[in-house]
Structure 1
Amino acid sequence: MGTLRRILLCHRKNVKVKQVIYLEILKKFASETKVKAVLDERVKEDINPKHHPGIFKFPSVALPKKLINTISSVLKDQPIKTLVKDAKMLRQYLHSRHAPIESLEMKARVSELEKQIRSEDGIDENLLGEEERSHLMEVRAAKLKSLIGQRIYCWKSIDYDEYKSKVYLLARSASNYAVLMKVFNELKIKDPTFSPKTLLDFGSGVGTVIWAVRNSWDKVIEYFCVDKSSHMNDLADLILRDGNINNELPSPGYFFRQFLPSAQTLKYDLVVSAFSLVDLPTSQNRLQTIMNLWNKTSGYLVLIEDGTLAGYKVLNEARDFILEFGSSSKNIANVAAHVVAPCPHDLPCPKIKTKKPCSFPVKYLTIPLEGREESRTALYSYVVLKKGVRSEDSLDWPRLVQPVLTRSKHTICRLCCSNGQIEEIIFTSSKHGKFTYHCARASHWGDLLPVKLSDSTSEE
């Protein structure tokens, strides 16, 4: 694999590598690959490959005009330049945020730093007098505090007051809405019969999940929104009233709370946690929350985080926990679980070995304050879980987990496959057929490829 990448790199940098040698090595590598890709027989070759059924074509997302007008009204009394500056800082901070370090790991890392400090100064405090020992302890404590600040991530909970809630509204609502619309669009494609009537939104913030659900399904009658910040809840409520507190809510089915409902019997068709799990202080707290959310869904559980390594790890932790619980003997309800998206399998995520996030892109337009509107791309990680066993006839097409590399006469795809592995396949017209080859070339990061994979060695 390393050889092929070096060849491709040389080719891209216009290093003088003879084309004949390059193609011969490429053909040799392709012939030695252990995985074969064959077009799924359910896909007819009389369609345009640019519109094959694995493509989740999704345009750049903009907030609805009515919402933009409402947000502009809500923010009209704020100093715009200061708000824009603070929104940029908050967006950068949230994107660079890590999950909190567990207490045991923190103690171990602090202990290592203490050993390092004692080793560096080489002083045996037992040989010192009381006053000298006291001074040494103070010096070491100061060094330790400095090293902790330099080398250990300091996680802090964000207290969203009235102003910070408005900053978050400007900083994240457009991108969060775009991500939610794309995820819900895929869910609608995969399950056209799903029409939720009740929603539980954990970490509801300014209400972006409500906006996306209302634009995706039209039969929802109850929106139960939970956010620990009363200011976030008030702002979300105000936006639903079109920016005027004296207006009525669109329907009586909106509820804003600071805690999850305690009743065990309450079930919701759709349960969502978007960009909220990283805000929980410990792994135990996260897993307790995830189990609570899982117990409250009668349909789908949708979990979304930023497409950073921290966001991906938190989601993968939740995914593994739910899947393990679904197959555990401790599962009193005896309810299995399976992944609907993005994975074509319920096996451990192969990306965890690469130390790179499994993330996907979505394009969106920013809120046009003072007439300025920018086009941006957000990366997000997500998992959609459903109760029950994976259907035998469900599509297990591999998903593209990196950008497709289109080259002259060949296309390189990195695919997450139903065998729980990431495979790199080089598609050519001669080896895979014109239709399959053009399907690969027309696909993008996040799409499914309508092919079946097999181990070529088992066919020999």
Structure 2
Amino acid sequence: MFNRLRCGSGLIQETVPRFGFGPGQENLFVHKFTFSTSKRLDRDKSLIYNSQNKPLPRLDPSVVGTGNRKRAQPVIQPSEKFNYSVRKALELIYYEEESRIPTLFPAGLKLSRYLKSRTLPLEIDLVSRAVLYNTRQSKLEKIHLQRWAPVDFDKNCAFSYLVARTPAEYAVLVTIFREISRLEPNFKPRTLFDHGSGLCTGYWAANTVFGKLTEMFCVDPSTDMNDLATNIIQQGVQNVPLPKGINFRLKAPKTISLKYDLCLSAYTLMEVKGSLERLDIVHSLWERLEEGGCMVLVEQGTNAGFQIISEARDFLLRLCEADERDGIVDNEKKGEVLAPCPHNHPCPRYHHDTVPCNFSVKYSLFDIPYFSTEDVHNDLFSYIVIKKGRREGFRFPRLVEEPLKTKNNFYCRLCTGSGMLQEVMCNKKHKDLFHLSKFLHWGDEMPVHLEYTDGKEKPRPVIDRSERSMSSGEHFRDSKKEKDFKEEKDSKEEKDSKEEKDSKEEKDSIVKNGI
């Protein structure tokens, strides 16, 4: 088995033994009650998930071939209408800013790096306690703990965000909306509530996947972001009303009487100072959601972003359980996780691992001057989709990492419907499943059914690699000797059985003749 080791900017492969962890060996890589939100705590990726139970994957009978899958991960580009609207807005209104794109783009990349490096803001009790510290301790706390500050999205920051971050956000939202459309074919939203709309990336992504929306309510506290988003939607034409059904507000209305098919909060909860305020926003979005609708929360694929998604997921599931227990909603209208989790159990990545549950997307920049659409960029994101109601169909396990390929096997690390992390092996004995594994990517559902043996599987001999490392030739010679010895043993047993049978027949014949 191959273990991936980081070396500079690339990855090298080294052959190392793989060890499983049993019920008493979780501390090999798990730091109990510790989940870092500031730095990444790498675990040993050669460890096997749930090694005490090794299931046998069976390909779902409904899967025929590879479908429309491709070997390479798709690269998502902004839609033609989105590109055209941005170009027209730059040509007709923002021609001065267009000439400064070579300066704005590096500033946008710097802003993106800062957003990804931020930790969660300190809670109020910690901040009040920090006042009592002496000067030196207060300085150290600000340096190492409070690596968070709100971003003021003025005009320059809005344009930097447009050229550097908006294509990545568009690709992320298109990926999520396509997954919703695949899992819920009958879900056709026509109304959208976007909290923290920014440059209306959610509007463009929803139009691409679901078709034209009849109503969209956008909430963003930045006037410059709202003005830029409005001019892009109007394609640079000023003094004309917005398309019917599109509304912009600086703050969300207090009334929740209007319901929406799709409620979205993308890269917004990180701008909120405390967890109570974040959960208030999540609860407000849930109350505005129509029955049968979906709520989408997206954050950066960092430890801090994953913690925000995890606390929102746990809050909503507990809220639905409490409502069902109190009889406020019936069993058919309660909330269920639609994606990426195939279950409603506590997140195993959050409670039993130190690696955030994130996913990867490839994208290209806008088709405007100074940019090349052939350049491919990559971004990580964490998300959760919760449906208000029962989800449709059966949920297959989902890949939480890119499949690891060896010469004859694919090792796939999955999040299963039982709320556990599980590793399965696909070899060439199962031809269809092995061929399908070549087309699966990080974040895809794996259409398999896991059959557990409940410990009835025969134990395999363990090779002590620490004492001696055998080459492939030695393995072959040892296996050949074992085969020859087995054939010789079988032949000897057969010969002894034949001699015993002949002796018995001869004895019976003598007894018969004597009688």
Contact 1:412 1:426 in 2 (8 A): yes
1:83 is the counterpart of 2:134 = no
Contact 2:401 2:443 in 1 (8 A): yes
Tell me the residue number matched to 1:126.
none
Structure 2 length-normalised TM = 0.73
Contact 1:201 1:271 in 2 (8 A): yes
d(CA) in 2 for partners of 1:332, 1:61: 44
1:409 is the counterpart of 2:403 = no
Aligned counterpart for 2:185 among listed residues 183, 187, 192? 192
Tell me the residue number matched to 2:399.
400
Contact 2:153 2:224 in 1 (8 A): yes
Structure-to-structure mapping, 1:377-388, within 5 angstroms = 377-388=378-389
d(CA) in 1 for partners of 2:447, 2:69: 7
Deviations along 1:26-49, whole A, 9 cap, x unmatched?
xxx99x8623233244424xx32x
Amino acid at match of 2:452: D
Tell me the residue number matched to 1:51.
67
d(CA) in 2 for partners of 1:147, 1:8: 32
Tell me the residue number matched to 2:139.
146
Partner SS state of residue 81, structure 1: helix
Deviations along 1:149-187, whole A, 9 cap, x unmatched?
322224222221222222211221110011111111111
Tell me the residue number matched to 2:84.
66
Tell me the residue number matched to 1:346.
344
Deviates more, 1:306-315 or 1:84-93: 84-93
Contact 2:398 2:414 in 1 (8 A): yes
d(CA) in 1 for partners of 2:69, 2:363: 24
Aligned counterpart for 2:209 among listed residues 216, 224, 249? 216
Shift of the alpha carbon at 1:454? 3.1
Relative to structure 1, is the Cα distance of residues 355 and 33 closer, same or farther in structure 2, using a 3 angstrom cutoff? closer
1:97 is the counterpart of 2:114 = no
Aligned counterpart for 1:271 among listed residues 239, 248, 263? 263
Q: Aligned Cα RMSD in Å?
A: 2.9
Contact 2:71 2:438 in 1 (8 A): no
d(CA) in 2 for partners of 1:33, 1:388: 35
Amino acid at match of 1:224: F
Deviates more, 1:91-100 or 1:143-152: 143-152
Deviations along 1:428-453, whole A, 9 cap, x unmatched?
123xx111222223211111111111
Amino acid at match of 1:168: Y
Query: Aligned pairs, how many?
Result: 407
Contact 1:54 1:447 in 2 (8 A): no
d(CA) in 2 for partners of 1:243, 1:377: 30
Aligned counterpart for 1:261 among listed residues 249, 253, 268? 253
Tell me the residue number matched to 1:120.
none
Structure 1 unaligned regions, length at least 5: 17-28, 115-139
Relative to structure 1, is the Cα distance of residues 409 and 159 closer, same or farther in structure 2, using a 3 angstrom cutoff? same
Tell me the residue number matched to 2:328.
332
Relative to structure 1, is the Cα distance of residues 230 and 199 closer, same or farther in structure 2, using a 3 angstrom cutoff? same
Relative to structure 1, is the Cα distance of residues 219 and 450 closer, same or farther in structure 2, using a 3 angstrom cutoff? same
1:182 is the counterpart of 2:175 = yes
Amino acid at match of 2:309: L
Higher helix share: 1
d(CA) in 1 for partners of 2:280, 2:327: 15
Amino acid at match of 1:274: A
Tell me the residue number matched to 2:462.
none
Deviates more, 1:304-313 or 1:434-443: 434-443
Tell me the residue number matched to 1:161.
154
Relative to structure 1, is the Cα distance of residues 152 and 412 closer, same or farther in structure 2, using a 3 angstrom cutoff? same
1:293 is the counterpart of 2:291 = no
Amino acid at match of 1:94: L
Tell me the residue number matched to 1:25.
none
1:362 is the counterpart of 2:336 = no
d(CA) in 1 for partners of 2:2, 2:262: 43
Partner SS state of residue 371, structure 1: coil
Amino acid at match of 1:306: Q
Shift of the alpha carbon at 1:390? 4.2
Structure 1 length-normalised TM = 0.81
Relative to structure 1, is the Cα distance of residues 340 and 213 closer, same or farther in structure 2, using a 3 angstrom cutoff? same
Structure-to-structure mapping, 1:406-445, within 5 angstroms = 406-430=405-429, 433-445=430-442
Relative to structure 1, is the Cα distance of residues 54 and 383 closer, same or farther in structure 2, using a 3 angstrom cutoff? farther
Relative to structure 1, is the Cα distance of residues 317 and 7 closer, same or farther in structure 2, using a 3 angstrom cutoff? closer
Structure 2 unaligned regions, length at least 5: 7-11, 18-47, 458-515
Relative to structure 1, is the Cα distance of residues 234 and 68 closer, same or farther in structure 2, using a 3 angstrom cutoff? closer
d(CA) in 1 for partners of 2:116, 2:236: 28
Amino acid at match of 1:325: L
Deviations along 1:87-109, whole A, 9 cap, x unmatched?
12111111112221212244566
Partner SS state of residue 385, structure 2: strand
Tell me the residue number matched to 1:134.
none
Relative to structure 1, is the Cα distance of residues 330 and 100 closer, same or farther in structure 2, using a 3 angstrom cutoff? farther
Shift of the alpha carbon at 1:62? 3.3
Deviates more, 1:419-428 or 1:158-167: 158-167
Relative to structure 1, is the Cα distance of residues 53 and 242 closer, same or farther in structure 2, using a 3 angstrom cutoff? closer
Deviates more, 1:52-61 or 1:151-160: 52-61
Shift of the alpha carbon at 1:232? 1.3
Partner SS state of residue 263, structure 1: coil
Deviations along 1:231-271, whole A, 9 cap, x unmatched?
2111111111112323443x211100012222232100111
Contact 2:158 2:224 in 1 (8 A): yes
d(CA) in 1 for partners of 2:454, 2:378: 41
Partner SS state of residue 383, structure 1: strand
Partner SS state of residue 412, structure 1: strand
